[in-house]
Structure 1
């Protein structure tokens, strides 16, 4: 066997490969000389070796075979070659043997034959034509394989249509969307012939894309409520017009992608952003309210002893005090919702909290509501403020009671749950202890389900609810690292799920209550710093009533000037002030007068967290609270 080829530097992938088979060496040399300028030429004089070459060289494009050869004729050789190769075949014959040519056509699939002696130009053109046909056939097979692979394995529903909207090609996913039993059942038919919703709109969009000649993209599916109804789906449909060589649109590719999960995630993210914005707003409102309530409650407390002899006036002032205290409770809920209230979190037994609420739930829910419990005995502990959690559970149970005006069941249950791959951006992977509160009430309509956590949003009548209960619950679980979910169906009740991250620490015992220390007996000079004159006056009046000497300044800068000029035993400063904040002032005092005690007073925890070693008093405060903190800081061990 002789193997001839051009230089090894030539790329076989660029140059076609020709196999010449003839039992006469001189003819093989002539064929090699004729074709080697354009092709890589392999030659052999034995048919058996030719078959071995064909099996070993899958890139052979054209086989040139003599008809009369010892051992195996050309038509028989080409027939066997056809079983292992898709190469084009040309038969060389030295005599007019029509039967051999017919046999080669039938058995070997030859694309032509050339008689000996051949015309060099004719033979070269025949080889070129055969090579080009083979190249095009392979390219077509590759394109078909790629298209079939795309159709069979794509996650999208894909179809190709003619300009009249009839399906030419489509994958199984598109056939299933149309409700057809198979791909074949869809070919030649229009989308409107299938029982699918929106087919008229889809065909109109097809016609518009063909008319425009440009790719289009549309989204189909339901509207965008705050929380999608069960079973709601969305699809993104891309239409790509396909043009012929002359530029005319002759086909349309349609790619339909299910974006339901993406759309639901976007909705949840928008809801989370809205809740964060509302939390920021609520925190600012609560701060301003706490300043007002500090002035109101403080003024009422200072004025009430002066009207002790007037029963009517005392009752009016007491009523005003109680109303202001209810306002203070509302602002605490706002601060919990906005994540700006420091929680007294510790690792607790959640089942123990629920079991300890028996009397409270019995008094709050009344005799028409039955309370059921199903508590997991191996429930994981969680780190949360137990008092706030108890208040959250009570709020949810009362909501359930209000949804059952004629009585019903409120069921409390707990379980462990490991979350993996949740689509809820607020629910990260991990272990959670879950508290479920279920009622058998009227349920919540889908159009308002996404708003129930907004502060001041309520479906109850005037005077029956503040709209802060669920907002407080939302803030509590978010601040504790968890999340809250609500499943509700109108007429079939509501289930609220509280997800609290599992704690790996041991359950902590409740801290013992401490009695407030009495005011220090010694005289002391205290500097009061607050930009709000009313709050500053109330604070200073309280301190004066305790027997301290107090001085007032409206800013941190003024406080530093006063401290440079005079000696003080304590500084009481508001946290949120324009210019120099109370925290900035405290740090400056700590650097220049490290032994001088400092008390920060705040309406809410600012974005900049207060270091743990700074003394803090929350607004609104009672005089006793202020007295206790001041006495502690002025005591020798303070």
Structure 2
């Protein structure tokens, strides 16, 4: 097959004019005097003026008419610069470039930047007969340049002023750029001194080798290394330092890994602080252990002290009965019998005093029986108090993990025992006690913890009544079952009409060591809360304010207690 090439026809003047008309760049031509003799549509758009208002005029003439508009592309300074450059072109025939900028319409104040390239129009003998030029809209390029310059400025500020070490490395882990702070620590006057060097030039093998291997792993896998704590050892013998390092892959525009970059924060002081904190923490643990032991001892003393009041009363009453015992009468009667051992029959039947002896002995026997019963009751109370003291001590000895000893408890008897242990103080201060007890079955409870709480609450209520002069001191005890199965609780409340509790103290009343009394220690209520929590219960307090009394309410889960049998 024969192929024949046709010659491409030469473009006609009409075609050339069409190209000029449709080019996206502004094109103009002036005569020897600088008057515009041709402008294309793109020029008119850039200059925001139709051709008929441009042709036949110089830039200065147009600027004079537009001088009132500060945003006009035809500002006088542009016209003056164009006139000078046109004159230079007419004289030398050289091409000249200049830039112009003015606010672009509809852009909210953004600048339009235009590059003007102007050259001579040559006539016969290659003499300039006018000038011609092209206007390029370089606004986007300018914005990109400004954005790039801004980013470079930000990076430069970061590198110059950051206290952290910021660095960029090539594929061989050699520095290509670093922050000024890093350069100074590495002994370089400027960051440029680090270019081409590696960690092996400043660190010992102990640190430089793992750091190099980390960077090579980042390059190989593309996975960053985030927040690694490292110990830095230096070849110049300075003390070791600690740092927190993050390293990431450095990529080019096409996404290819060309090195690494990272940031290292000096945490030497932080590590020193951590060591100090560890020492202090160890000391605090030991102090806390000792403080916990002291708190246990304090609670033991406080709770035992409450029970000792009852012990003292019971022991005192036993002592009083022994001192006042009828036993001496029995001794005298026995003495009389011994005196009349030879005539005992006559003595008992004939002697007036002897006749009274059998009746006296009968009455004496009854009195001694009553003494025995009374002392037996006091000794039983004393034994209960001693048992409770032993249980308090045993419970506090295993404070954190004390197991609950659950038994069937008569709540009424429990309240009576708690009142009996406070009986001396209540009687001495003539405190009225009102006990309201609904018909309750025997409940499975931790008797000794319950007793510890009630003894404390009653003692605390009695102390709140000290100094009352405008009312009769009164403590009210109330016990009932509350809630619905399976969340039923035994609810016991202890109320007094004493000094009350101010609102700001309600949230602190159970805190260890908090007290509002001059001689108080702040241990009793705190130990009550702990005991309630150990039984799975809660202890609440309510008071309307100062001088309005207070009510402490203990809720103990019945089902939880039953489950501990």
Superposition TM-score, scaled by structure 1 size:
0.37
Q: Which of structures 1 and 2 has the larger relative contact order (alpha carbons within 8 angstroms, sep 6+)?
A: 1
Larger radius of gyration: 2
